[in-house]
Structure 1
Amino acid sequence: MSCAIIGFGNIGKAVAKAFAREGIEVSVATTRDPESFASEAAAIGPTIIPRKLAEAVEADIIFLAVRFEAHPDVAKTLPSWQGKIIVDVTNAYGVPDEDLGGQPSARVVARAFTGARVVKGFNHLVAAVLDQDPAAHGGRRVVFLASDDDGAAAEIGKLTENLGFAPIKLGGLSEGGLLVQARGNSWGHLIFKDLVKFD
């Protein structure tokens, strides 16, 4: 399964570092020309491949690490996202609840990416924590996952483990998504929690 990260800010780079630590290849893209961030990608590791946005969205699994407000523009890149898994790493902090129609932010993202299987994940840790080796305090740093598609959640759970984290599934987007989202001026009970699981 091919992977890509759309967005190369602090969170996108932190996710890229997780891939680099395990020597797993991942494409990275922004709306900018890949040459403009090629040196930053190279500094993270040789498995971090800068690509044009149109190339990166061909991947099977796409980590959406852009500002929440930018997700509709990314969604327009393809007419259909059928067969792809979108890992929603966004947070809608500062976005008024009425703009979300009373829905969890992950549901809003899912509507934009027609046909995709959406998994909310990797968004509850701040970049400075996500950036670190997930082997912490004798355990593994926890990543919460929420999805309405059990198969997609299982697939991202396996990838999460391959990246060294401990995945914990929270259920569907409406239940689990609410626990790990920042929206408006509030946040769910599990957002920004840095937890470690001991095997």
Structure 2
Amino acid sequence: MSYAIVGFGKIGQALAHAFARKNIDVTVASRRSPEELAPQARAIGPTVTAGALQEALKADIIFLAVLFDQHAAVAKALPNWDGKTIIDVTNAFGVAPEDLDGLPSSAFVAKAFTGAKLVKGFNHLGAAKLATDPVIEGGHRVVFLSSDDEDAVPAIDALARELGFAPVKLGKLSEGGALVHARGQVWGPLIFQDLFKKQQ
């Protein structure tokens, strides 16, 4: 399985730290050139490689870590997304519900990525928390996962565990997933909640 992070701002870099801690290879890309990203990528760890967007999009699992209003531009980079799984890390805070066709933000994002399987996840923690080791004495930091593609969730669940997190499945995007979606000027009730699951 191959991994990429599209977007290399605070959230993208935080995710890269998570991969580096576990020595898992990941390609990072953004609107900046690979040459511009390379020093930051190297500083995070040897398994983090800066690449062009088209190179990053060859990955099987892609973290979408751009600003919400940039997702459509990323989606246009491929004619179809068959065989790809997108982890939507975006938050649509400040976007009016009517601008999302009344859909949960991730369902709206999914429409742009024709053929992809989309999982909402890793979006409820701020960058500073996301960047720190999720393995805390006695437990693991929780990440929430939701998707309308149920068969996409197990792979993301396994990746979250490999990265040291404790994944909690919330079901479909319009059901439990609504707990971690922003709507207009309102954050979902689980956004910014720093929760831990005790080791069994």
Are 2:49 and 1:81 equivalent residues in the alignment? no
2:172 maps to which residue?
Answer: 172
Q: Which deviations, in whole Å up to 9, do the C-alpha atoms of 1:55-106 show, x marking residues without a partner?
A: 1001000000000000000000001001110000000011111111111000
1:108 maps to which residue?
Answer: 108
What does 1:1-199 align with in structure 2 at a 5 Å threshold? 1-199=1-199
Q: Which moved more, 1:147-156 or 1:6-15?
A: 147-156
CA–CA separation in structure 2 for the residues paired with 1:53 and 1:176: 32
Structure 2 counterpart of 1:9, one-letter code? G
CA–CA separation in structure 1 for the residues paired with 2:107 and 2:129: 26
Q: Which deviations, in whole Å up to 9, do the C-alpha atoms of 1:138-185 show, x marking residues without a partner?
A: 200000000112221111000000000000000011112211112310
Structure 1 counterpart of 2:143, one-letter code? V
CA–CA separation in structure 2 for the residues paired with 1:176 and 1:73: 28
1:8–1:29 Cα contact (<8 Å) kept: yes
SS of 1:187's partner is coil
Sequence identity of aligned pairs in percent?
Answer: 61
CA–CA separation in structure 2 for the residues paired with 1:63 and 1:48: 14
Structure 2 counterpart of 1:118, one-letter code? L
RMSD: 0.8
1:4–1:61 Cα contact (<8 Å) kept: yes
Question: Which structure 1 residue ranges, 5 or more long, are not aligned?
Answer: none
Q: Which deviations, in whole Å up to 9, do the C-alpha atoms of 1:35-71 show, x marking residues without a partner?
A: 0111000000000010000110010000000000000
Structure 1 counterpart of 2:140, one-letter code? R
Moved over 6 A (4+): none
C-alpha displacement of 1:137: 4.3
CA–CA separation in structure 1 for the residues paired with 2:133 and 2:182: 24
CA–CA separation in structure 2 for the residues paired with 1:117 and 1:149: 6
Question: Which structure 2 residue ranges, 5 or more long, are not aligned?
Answer: none
Q: TM-score, normalised by structure 2?
A: 0.97
CA–CA separation in structure 2 for the residues paired with 1:161 and 1:35: 31
